[in-house]
Amino acid sequence: MFLGRLADVAGTPEREVAAGPLAEVLADLPASLAIALLDERVRVALNGELVRAVETIVLEQGDELAFLPPVSGG
């Protein structure tokens, strides 16, 4: 899932990807999108829980990964 402006960069709010380590998932995406997702201010949630050590993520069948850019609420 791509939140906020990342949905515009991705051209869609959600996208199906193959299972596997995060590095492989990103390698299959358009380069401009992968670069936007790797921005150090973008947080990552796996199945609704924030992940600190993003580089350790390995997606399994049915997992939901969310990319959360800097917020602007209120």
Q: Which residues bind another protein (CB under 8 A)?
A: 1, 3-5, 7-8, 45, 47-50, 66, 68-74
Q: Report the amino acid identity of residue 35.
A: I
Distance of closest approach, residue 4 Cβ to another protein, in angstroms:
3
Say whether 23 sits in a helix, a strand or coil: helix
Distance of closest approach, residue 27 Cβ to another protein, in angstroms:
25
Q: Considering the complex, state which of residue 14 and residue 23 has its C-beta at the smaller distance from another protein.
A: 14
Q: Considering the complex, state which of residue 27 and residue 32 has its C-beta at the smaller distance from another protein.
A: 32
d(CA 72, CA 62): 29
Q: Considering the complex, state which of residue 1 and residue 17 has its C-beta at the smaller distance from another protein.
A: 1
Distances (CA, A) of 54 to 21, 42, 72: 10, 11, 23
